Amino acid sequence: MADQTKERIVEAACRTLVKHGYHQTSMKDIAAEAGLAPGLAHYYFETKEDLLVAAIEHACRPVVEVWEQAGINLTGPLPEDADPLAFGRAGFELAKLELKNYSGLFLLIFDMFGVGLHNPKIAAAVQAFISERRAFVGRIAQGVVAGMRERPAASVEAIAAAIWGSLHGIYLQKLLDPGFDADAAIDAMSEMTMAFVTSPGTGTRMEA
Amino acid sequence: MADQTKERIVEAACRTLVKHGYHQTSMKDIAAEAGLAPGLAHYYFETKEDLLVAAIEHACRPVVEVWEQAGINLTGPLPEDADPLAFGRAGFELAKLELKNYSGLFLLIFDMFGVGLHNPKIAAAVQAFISERRAFVGRIAQGVVAGMRERPAASVEAIAAAIWGSLHGIYLQKLLDPGFDADAAIDAMSEMTMAFVTSPGTGTRMEA
DNA sequence: ACCGTTTGATTGAATAGCCAATCATTGATT
DNA sequence: AATCAATGATTGGCTATTCAATCAAACGGT
């Protein structure tokens, strides 16, 4: 019974945060959304920050589940027999679907990015989110880079940071402007990445 | 006299917003930072939002000036005689410098990104920031794409959105984690972009 | 089976403080 | 005098957090 109401509170927090954002959600709002007494949110979470951290972690769960359903182990290594290049391509497709299906999560996450800039507790939660997902991109990049004819100058970590960054920079544009064509931007990023991966070599071109 | 104090308020707003973020800055804080009476901020700005919008615009100014000092006209076309590829490379270098020299601006901007997700007025100001800069990336991309042997499948707009997104996704990682190596990530992005641009053949420019 | 006690869950009101916005007032300049 | 700039106290409303009081269920002794 206790765990149930705790989860009800966290879920209500997710809903209100997605709908109204960090500024405009009070503890009372969250309790009301959950259909509970105002004081109860503080019974389960000492501070508002603690509840928000729990909400972030809760909101991320469904996305991870989608990945795992697609046969991707988020924290473990990639399947040995898979073609890394195909994996990379699929990753970009997955990114497009993610944005479409879980825009609420990203609304919450980008809101929290902003909060985290000046709030250590939220920053820690948000960085966990970043690290996990960027490392996953890095694992795909690792496989792809290993198959390249010439090793790129950039490290795998740097490539992963660039690709993760590009996807989230694209997400940001979409969230701020619903008319933005995120699919086209992700396709462009995918095309650029694939050209990079299959290019004969870097730094061997004529100077103008 | 009036314009001077108005600017003093905006500058104070920038400083406090960078230091403490949107949540933790009140109108009173801003007035105190400016060394003025609490009520004066509302004399010049009807609402807090209006002041924040002015602060965003004010904070962006020095960056634009740097671009213009580098011989780049932000809103007009690129110089005819310039090598687009060299321009692109220089753009990535400029991005690295920008982040180093104006991290305060980006702290403010990313804070406002978060606020803008649920606040139409701030969203409008933030989108102006995005549009201007993304269009500038697009103008460089336009020149580079025109010189490619084979036209890419992606549109120039999509490429610009991807590159702008990657830079700001990288900025975000740096702001949330000072230990993050943003230079390496931008170098990686630059390498990927250049490989994409030069992939089929040499970068022979074709004039219209 | 019965009953008092304990424990934890839940309630809703109270506390203490902060904030944006207002406004009557004062000061300065023309 | 009249207009604009500046002050700082006030207002009304909101907030996170606390807390005493209620409720329900489990437990233990008989």
pLDDT in tens, A19-49: 999 989 999 999 999 999 999 999 999 999 9
Which nucleotides of chain D does any protein CB come within 7 A of?
A: 4-10, 14-20
Question: Hey, are the CB atoms on A153 and B187 less than 8 Å from each other?
Answer: yes
Q: What is the DSSP string of B130-141?
A: HHHHHHHHHHHH
Question: Hey, are the CB atoms on A161 and B188 less than 8 Å from each other?
Answer: yes
Q: Which residues in chain A (57-116) have CB-CB distances under 8 A to chain B?
A: 107, 110-116
- The proportion of chain B whose per-residue pLDDT surpasses 90, expressed as a percent, equals 76
Residue A163's CB is within 10 A of a number of other CB atoms, namely: 29
User: In chain A, what are the helix, strand and coil shares in percent, each to the nearest 5?
Assistant: 75, 0, 25
> Which three-class secondary structure state does DSSP give residue A74?
coil
Burial class of B72 by CB neighbour count within 10 A (0 to 12, 13 to 18, 19+): buried
Q: What is the pLDDT of residue B207?
A: 44
Q: Which residue is nearest to nucleotide D19 (CA to C1')?
A: A39
Task: Tell me the shortest Cα–Cα distance from A103 to chain B, in angstroms.
Answer: 12
Amino acid at B200: P
Q: What is the pLDDT of residue B203?
A: 41
- For residues B148 and B204, the answer to whether their CB atoms sit within 8 Å is no
> Which three-class secondary structure state does DSSP give residue A1?
coil
**pLDDT average, residue stretch A197-204:** 64
Query: Which residue in A106, A133, A197, A199 has the most chain B C-beta atoms within 10 A of its own C-beta, making it the best mutation to test that interface?
Result: A199
In order of A46, A56, A94, the CA distances from A108 in angstroms are 21, 8, 19
Å from the A37 CA to the C13 C1': 11
pLDDT at A204 over 60: no
**Is the Cβ atom of B39 within 7 Å of strand C at any atom?**
yes
Residues in A closer than 8 angstroms to B24, CB to CB, are 118
Kindly indicate the confidence band of residue B205, based on its pLDDT and cuts at 50, 70 and 90: very low
Q: Report d(CA B125, CA B60) in Å as an integer.
A: 11
Query: For the CA atoms of A133, A139, A141, A143, what is the dihedral angle to 10 degrees?
Result: -160
Size of interface A-B (CB pairs under 8 A): 213
Residues in B closer than 8 angstroms to A21, CB to CB, are 114-115, 117-119
Q: What is the pLDDT of residue B27?
A: 97
How confident is the prediction for chain A on average, in pLDDT? 90
Kindly indicate the confidence band of residue B200, based on its pLDDT and cuts at 50, 70 and 90: low
pLDDT in tens, B118-155: 999 999 999 999 999 999 999 999 999 998 988 999 99
Interface membership of B132 toward A (CB under 8 Å): no
The helix-helix angle for B156-176 and B103-116 (nearest 10°) equals: 110
**Is the Cβ atom of A38 within 7 Å of strand D at any atom?**
yes
pLDDT at B201 over 60: no
Q: Report d(CA B134, CA B108) in Å as an integer.
A: 18
Interface membership of A157 toward B (CB under 8 Å): yes
Task: Tell me the shortest Cα–Cα distance from A74 to chain B, in angstroms.
Answer: 20
Q: Is the dihedral of CA B160, B175, B130, B117 positive or negative?
A: positive
Q: Report d(CA B156, CA B197) in Å as an integer.
A: 12
- Enter the DSSP assignment of B36: S
